[in-house]
């Protein structure tokens, strides 16, 4: 497998451009404003998968000449989203330089397989976004299907995951999923789509910084010459000027390692301590599960149900208060207690429903 996008040293991949191609003038304008930044690809959606009908669904194949125009005028490489074999055929015939598979497509192995078949024997970089739902295997499977079609240049795009409820993000990042994908598929470059994770402009830099600190290979961002007038995703698009001044120039690029001996000694020392703490955490969790099982035995004798809403409420409030005073985020502690609670319930349930158990 080859790198999807060749970069020298610590240079980062940049894929910039509007959510959708809206007119030749818009594409020319954005391309000319992006010239100085020299992104690796200009992105623009032709076929827009929208959650609800009635919203703007892209100009489709009639927008292809606008992408060709910026290839010719500026020498830029361009990429677009494909969701079926017809899109692939049109994009390839038009000489587009790379393709990406969106989150609403990578979610479905039938769609991915259709695209993979259309790509057989073709040499073009393909970027694969994570599926809408936080399913690592589905993402990995989509990448494998495209690899199996013989595509050599593949990168993953992390665009966050949909969820129900409130969050500062449009799509929650769940960084552990792309981190695990990088561990499992080390040859695949990882790109953060900061716009679809963020959903609003104020948070884009912070997301890009986290991605860089996690050693991502690059970023995708939606830039538009006049974001307020964008036909799709207006709230999250920024001008090329804003992207440079407020995001790119403010990012701190750090290296992956250092050879400084003192630094390595100190870090190793701290890592040993971390390993000790991690072991203690796991042992404490085991202890907690034994206690849950003891409660299970008591409840079984009395015929009392496992889940007690008031008790759960009490646990959550007490720990969230403690977390606050210790400067731990509510979101983190809540999801941690939730996971512990579910595991405890499973232990209790196992204890209470054990077959052939002698009366206690």
* Residues in contact with Mn ion by the rule CB under 5 A: 19, 233
Shortest distance, position 180 Cβ to ligand PEP, whole Å: 19
Burial of 318 (0-12, 13-18, 19+ CB in 10 A): exposed
**Residue 131 binds which of Mn ion, ligand PEP, none (CB < 5-8 A, kind-dependent):** none
CA distance 269 to 262: 11
Applying CB under 6 A, does 39 fall inside the site for ligand PEP?
no
Tokens of 85: 């074999």
- The conformation of residue 58, written as its DSSP 8-state character, comes to -
**C-beta of 194: minimal distance to ligand PEP in Å?**
11
CB atoms within 10 A of CB 226: 14
Number of residues that bind ligand PEP (CB under 6 A): 10
Stretch that binds ligand PEP, among 31-39, 69-77, 97-105, 326-334 (CB under 6 A): 97-105
The one of ligand PEP, Mn ion, none whose footprint includes residue 103, by CB under 5 to 8 A per kind, is ligand PEP
CB of 222 to Mn ion, least distance (A): 6
Q: Which one of 5, 30, 88, 103 is in contact with ligand PEP (CB under 6 A)? A: 103
Lookup: tokens for 14: 């940049």
> What phi, psi does 43 have (nearest 5°)?
-100, 150
Name the residue among 30, 18, 31 with its Cα closest to residue 59.
Answer: 18
Residue whose CB is less far from ligand PEP, 171 or 344: 171
Least distance CB 171 / ligand PEP (angstroms): 8
Q: Please say whether the beta carbons of 42 and 52 come within 8 A.
A: no
Q: What is the DSSP letter of 243?
A: I
Q: Closest separation between CB of residue 282 and Mn ion, Å?
A: 41
Site for ligand PEP in 107-146 (CB under 6 A): 129
Q: 33 near 240, Cβ under 8 Å?
A: yes
Among 96-104, 254-262, 296-304, 309-317, the segment contacting ligand PEP (CB under 6 A): 96-104
Q: Could you say which residues in the range 179-208 bind ligand PEP, by CB under 6 A? A: 193, 196
Based on CB atoms, which residue is closest to Mn ion, 172 or 340?
A: 172
Report the residue number, 22 or 193, with the smaller CB distance to ligand PEP.
Answer: 193
Q: Tokens 């204890």 — which residue?
A: 351
In whole angstroms, give the CA distance from residue 17 to residue 219. Answer: 12
Structure-block tokens of residue 198? 């963020």
Question: Binding to ligand PEP (CB under 6 A): which residues in 5-24?
Answer: 19
Q: What is the distance of C-alpha 165 from the center of its chain? A: 18
- Please give the Cα distance from 290 to 304 (Å, whole number): 18
When asked if residue 159 is in the footprint of ligand PEP (CB under 6 A), the reply is yes
Contacted entry of Mn ion, ligand PEP, none for residue 101, CB cut-off 5 to 8 Å set by kind: none
Strand pairing partners for 128? 101, 156
Cβ neighbours of residue 315 closer than 8 Å, sequence gap 6 or more: 337, 341
Whose Cβ is closer to ligand PEP: residue 41's or residue 306's?
41
Burial class of 214 by CB neighbour count within 10 A (0 to 12, 13 to 18, 19+): middle
Question: In this complex, which beta carbon is closest to ligand PEP, that of residue 131 or of residue 296?
Answer: 131
Token digits of residue 87:
């899109």
Please report whether residue 102 would count as binding ligand PEP according to CB under 6 A: yes
Q: Where in 268-327 is the site for ligand PEP (CB under 6 A)?
A: none
Return d(Cα 199, Cα 194) in angstroms, integer.
8
- Interaction partner, residue 129 (ligand PEP, Mn ion, none; CB < 5-8 Å by kind): ligand PEP
Query: Using CB distances below 5 to 8 A depending on partner kind, what does residue 14 bind out of Mn ion, ligand PEP, none?
Result: none
What residues line the site for ligand PEP (CB under 6 A)? 19, 45, 49, 102-104, 129, 159, 193, 196
């Amino acid at each position: 497998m080859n790198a999807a996008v060749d970069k020298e040293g610590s240079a980062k991949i940049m894929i910039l451009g509007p959510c959708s191609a809206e007119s030749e003038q818009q594409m020319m304008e954005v391309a000319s404003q992006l010239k100085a930044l020299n992104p690796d690809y200009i992105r623009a959606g032709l076929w827009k998968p929208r959650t609800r009908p009635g919203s703007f669904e892209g100009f489709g194949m009639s927008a292809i000449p606008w992408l060709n125009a910026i290839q010719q005028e500026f020498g830029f490489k361009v990429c677009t989203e494909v969701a079926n074999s017809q899109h692939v055929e049109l994009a390839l015939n038009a000489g587009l330089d790379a393709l990406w598979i969106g989150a609403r497509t990578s979610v479905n192995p039938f769609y991915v397989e259709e695209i993979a078949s259309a790509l057989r024997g073709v040499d073009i970089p393909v970027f694969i976004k994570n599926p809408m739902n936080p399913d690592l295997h589905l993402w990995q499977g989509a990448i494998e299907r495209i690899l199996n079609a013989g595509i050599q240049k593949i990168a993953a795009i992390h665009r966050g995951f949909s969820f129900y409820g409130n969050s500062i993000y449009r799509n929650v990042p769940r960084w552990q999923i792309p981190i695990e994908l990088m561990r499992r598929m080390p040859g695949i470059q990882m790109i953060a789509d900061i716009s679809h994770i963020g959903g609003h402009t104020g948070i884009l830099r912070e997301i890009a910084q986290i991605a860089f600190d996690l050693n991502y290979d690059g970023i995708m961002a939606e830039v538009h010459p006049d974001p307020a007038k964008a036909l799709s995703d207006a709230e999250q698009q920024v001008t090329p000027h804003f992207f440079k001044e407020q995001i790119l120039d403010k990012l701190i690029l750090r290296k992956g390692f250092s050879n400084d001996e003192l630094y390595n000694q100190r870090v190793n020392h701290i890592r040993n301590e971390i390993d000790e703490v991690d072991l203690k955490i796991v042992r404490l969790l085991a202890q907690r599960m034994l206690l849950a099982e003891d409660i299970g035995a008591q409840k079984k004798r009395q015929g009392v149900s496992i889940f007690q809403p008031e008790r759960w409420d009490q646990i959550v409030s007490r720990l969230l208060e403690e977390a606050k005073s210790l400067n731990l985020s509510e979101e983190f502690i809540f999801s941690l207690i939730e996971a512990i609670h579910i595991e405890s319930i499973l232990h209790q349930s196992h204890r209470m429903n054990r077959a052939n158990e002698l009366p206690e």
